[in-house]
Structure 1
Amino acid sequence: MPHIYHSWTRLGLGALMGTTALAGCGQSASTPTPAAESAAVEAPAFAAEALAADPAPVGSVGGEGEGGVAIEQAATDPVVFNIALAVTEAHILAARDAYADGETEAAAEMFAHPVSEVLFDMEPVLEARGVTLFDGLLTDASIAASAGETPEQISARTDAIIAALRAAALKAPDNGTAPAEVKMHVIADMIERAVAMYRSAAASGVYEPYLDGYGFHKVAETQFAAAKDEIAASNPEAAASIGNAIAALAEAYPSAAPQDALMADISQLTVLASDVTLSVN
């Protein structure tokens, strides 16, 4: 496995709650709210089943389940740089919606997950690009979810994190790739991840890969809605294939809550994702 590859896999929340872990991310721990101080913050009891291997998403060097990113390439490649931000955003959106659905432990885990498994490795790249580090926002949101803040408060924290991600995206490296092309490749990557995680969730019956995939779908949906006209003007075929895939994923992922059964046609989802990949390349 190339040394530049980091697989973004499972992360226990408990490892993120201490000041040592926070200091390792280059940021001091924020003072928790009284509610957070009194809360018993423990790692959620997610199942630890290994996920089935899947082809590597666009921009990655290989991967399983969620996939990974060639971190060193993020310093010069705007697609890889923005994929890292999109993976973070996927977890944040999944956390927000899971919390609204009453899945408190899952939400806390999803907020915490990118801090160590994504942002820690990206820290040198972000700092070199002049990005103000924002891992503390995610850790605070994780603590707040465990402490029982209202869904409205959690949503506000989510908005703040997304604003930080948008600010970071403005400082992505420029290697001459057209903005529309960058966006369609990032969306294609999120679609591939969403399909891969649905396949894993259907095979294992475990909630966590479903929630991961839900987040990847929501990022693809959100980013495509914002860039649809730009992508269509640049590559009409890609816009059409992306739209088809996102529509199918919306049916596969009706909500962030655990599903009684996963009934989507995985073969169809796979074909739609492949159509996207072929159209953007």
Structure 2
Amino acid sequence: MNSTLKLWTQLGLGTALAGGLLAACGGEAGGEGAATGTVGGETAATAGEGEGGSGAGEGGGGETAGGEGEGGVAVTDAATDPVAYGIALAVAEAHVVAARDAYAAGKKEAAAEMFAHPVSEVLVDMDPVFAKLGVKDFKELFTTASLAANDGKSVAEVGKAYDAIIAALRGAAQKAPKSDATSAKVAIGIIADQIERSSAMYRTLPKNDSYEPYLDGYGFAKVAASAFATNGAAIKAENPAAHTRITEALGVLGQAYPGAARPAKLSVEPGAVSGASAKVMLAAAG
């Protein structure tokens, strides 16, 4: 408990504590302080520039006024819309994928922060949705992973903590709200959102040499690729144009984000990344 409190204090994640994380660490389900309404005021794919998605103005991956920026999840919609719900889980997954790979690349501090971020950025706000859908609170798994990274545990031990988070996210995905949308359409919506988030982060990089925006974008790209690997066949059967555009965009993002460690020089023009994402969004809307 003391080491957990010390970690959150070091990372400055007061929101996570206020949202019930301490209760979760004590074995109770965190629920107090959970926000209602849409984080960022819009759906995730059209939230403010930066982690929240695309929109007017470019951010550096930090919180912005009005809740836009980090997280950027449409919480109210997530209770009834499987795309919004899936996006919330994907954003959390993107952070832990990035954290795992950053740790393997020797970026201990960045990894500890990335493991922690989904708690305050997504999960606290999603608590009421999870409770409604019967998803057991799993915020403490992110705490465990963040502590393991912060304490310099072995890559294997950090990987084990990562695996526990992924298992919880997959379990939560099974409780997604029902709708008339096909599984392929839901997958397209989630993948398109992750591609646009990755694109949005990349657009900030020429004017921002810090590591976090790059790592965020890397995580979004990896999750988009993973979801596409799982759902690609169904997407191709239902929306061949979207399949083509997603394939193209993931190819561009693979060049833009060659690994978890930020390269000394960006290898892809931001306009190429934006263009590829825009084509995905258009195909997804078709």
Aligned to 2:20: 23
- Residue 147 of structure 1 deviates from its aligned partner by 0.5
Aligned amino acid, residue 176 of structure 2: A
- Equivalents in 1 of 2:10, 2:49: separation in Å? 21
Aligned partner of 1:82 among 80, 86, 93: 86
| 8 Å contact kept, 1:94–1:256 | yes
CA RMSD of aligned residues (A): 2.4
Aligned partner of 1:172 among 176, 189, 197: 176
Q: Deviations over 1:194-223 (max 9, x none)?
A: 011011122211111000000000000111
Sort the Cα spacing of 1:224 and 1:12 in 2 relative to 1 into closer, same or farther, 3 A.
farther
- Equivalents in 1 of 2:42, 2:211: separation in Å? 21
Aligned to 2:69: none
Aligned length in residues: 247
- Equivalents in 2 of 1:257, 1:69: separation in Å? 26
- Residue 109 of structure 1 deviates from its aligned partner by 0.3
- Equivalents in 2 of 1:57, 1:271: separation in Å? 22
Q: Deviations over 1:152-192 (max 9, x none)?
A: 11111111111111110111111211111000110000000
What's the TM-score, normalizing by structure 1?
Answer: 0.82
- For the pair 1:64 / 2:21, whether they are aligned, the reply is no
State how 1:1-281 maps to structure 2 within 5 Å.
14-16=11-13, 20-21=17-18, 23-24=20-21, 26-29=23-26, 59-60=44-45, 62-67=47-52, 68-281=72-285
Q: Secondary structure at the match of 1:257?
A: coil
- Equivalents in 2 of 1:192, 1:143: separation in Å? 30
| 8 Å contact kept, 1:22–1:28 | no
What's the TM-score, normalizing by structure 2?
Answer: 0.81
| 8 Å contact kept, 2:50–2:200 | yes
Q: Secondary structure at the match of 2:73?
A: strand
Q: Any stretches of 5+ residues in structure 2 without a counterpart?
A: 1-7, 28-40, 53-71
More relative contact order, 1 or 2 (CA 8 Å, 6+ apart) = 1
Sort the Cα spacing of 1:118 and 1:238 in 2 relative to 1 into closer, same or farther, 3 A.
same
Aligned amino acid, residue 215 of structure 1: G
Percent identity, aligned pairs only?
Answer: 48
